[in-house]
């Protein structure tokens, strides 16, 4: 899954891919994401992050949510939008959040450390929400955090999901 996304975006370097595999904390993920965003910002003045269910809500499983999410990222990119695709980070998030899963709680460090760091970098300009975003703990947090930080909030075009 990750290699397909990396090839699609062309913003990832091999060094970032290797670094992501070896990280041991959410703090270490932030500079990897910011490095990618900085490279994206050199080519695009308006970077969008799609928000929606991954590990909670949505289609009821991580695999189904990830397939839906990646389809949405691909379609938005095909329609000319510059999308920061966070799905390559998912494997590391799962690995780092394993202890949280056993406690049956959502790993808030993913949000408070990684996503807050990404949002505060100033490189994300807009958060675009999939139709079922409200069923997701993380997407609800992203919505509130985005509003607090003054990011543009928009809805993902439903017609892109029907094609």
Per-residue confidence (pLDDT) for residue 14, from 0 to 100:
83
CB count in 10 Å sphere of residue 128:
20
Average pLDDT over residues 11-23: 85
Per-residue confidence (pLDDT) for residue 98, from 0 to 100:
73
Contact yes or no for 50/83 (Cβ under 8 A): yes
Average pLDDT over residues 120-143: 95
Per-residue confidence (pLDDT) for residue 99, from 0 to 100:
59
Cα separation, 150 vs 126, whole angstroms: 9
Cα separation, 17 vs 36, whole angstroms: 11
Per-residue confidence (pLDDT) for residue 100, from 0 to 100:
53
User: What's the pLDDT tens digit per position in 75-86?
Assistant: 999 999 999 999
Tally the domains of the chain.
Answer: 1
pLDDT exceeds 50 at position 106: yes
13-17, 136-140, 147-151: least confidently modelled range? 13-17
Under 8 Å CB-to-CB from 28, ≥6 apart: which residues?
Answer: 19
DSSP 112: I
Helix or strand run (H / E) with residue 154: strand 152-155
Residue predicted with more confidence, 21 or 141: 141
Q: What CATH code is carried by the domain that includes residue 99?
A: 3.40.50.10400
User: What tokens were used for 58?
Assistant: 């949505």
Cα separation, 86 vs 2, whole angstroms: 10
Average pLDDT over residues 81-101: 84
Q: Give residue 122's domain range.
A: 2-162
pLDDT exceeds 50 at position 72: yes
Residue 129 bridge partners (DSSP): 51, 155
Average pLDDT over residues 86-110: 78
Mean pLDDT of the chain: 87
Under 8 Å CB-to-CB from 156, ≥6 apart: which residues?
Answer: 50, 52, 72, 76, 128, 129, 130, 131
User: What's the pLDDT tens digit per position in 23-42?
Assistant: 999 999 999 999 999 999 99
Per-residue pLDDT band at 20 (split at 50, 70, 90): confident
């Amino acid at each position: 899954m990750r290699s397909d996304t990396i090839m699609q975006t062309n913003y990832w370097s091999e060094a970032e891919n290797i670094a992501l595999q070896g990280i041991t904390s959410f703090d270490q993920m932030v500079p990897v994401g910011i490095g990618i965003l900085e490279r994206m910002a050199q080519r695009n003045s308006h970077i969008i992050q799609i928000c929606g269910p991954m590990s909670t809500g949505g289609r009821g499983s991580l695999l189904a949510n990830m397939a839906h999410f990646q389809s949405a990222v691909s379609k938005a990119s095909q329609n000319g939008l510059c999308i920061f695709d966070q799905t390559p980070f998912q494997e590391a998030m799962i690995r780092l959040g394993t202890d949280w899963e056993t406690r049956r709680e959502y790993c808030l460090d993913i949000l408070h450390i990684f996503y807050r760091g990404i949002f505060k970098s100033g490189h994300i300009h807009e958060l675009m929400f999939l139709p079922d975003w409200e069923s997701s703990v993380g997407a609800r947090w992203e919505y509130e955090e985005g509003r607090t930080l003054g990011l543009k909030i928009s809805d993902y075009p439903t017609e892109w999901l029907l094609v």
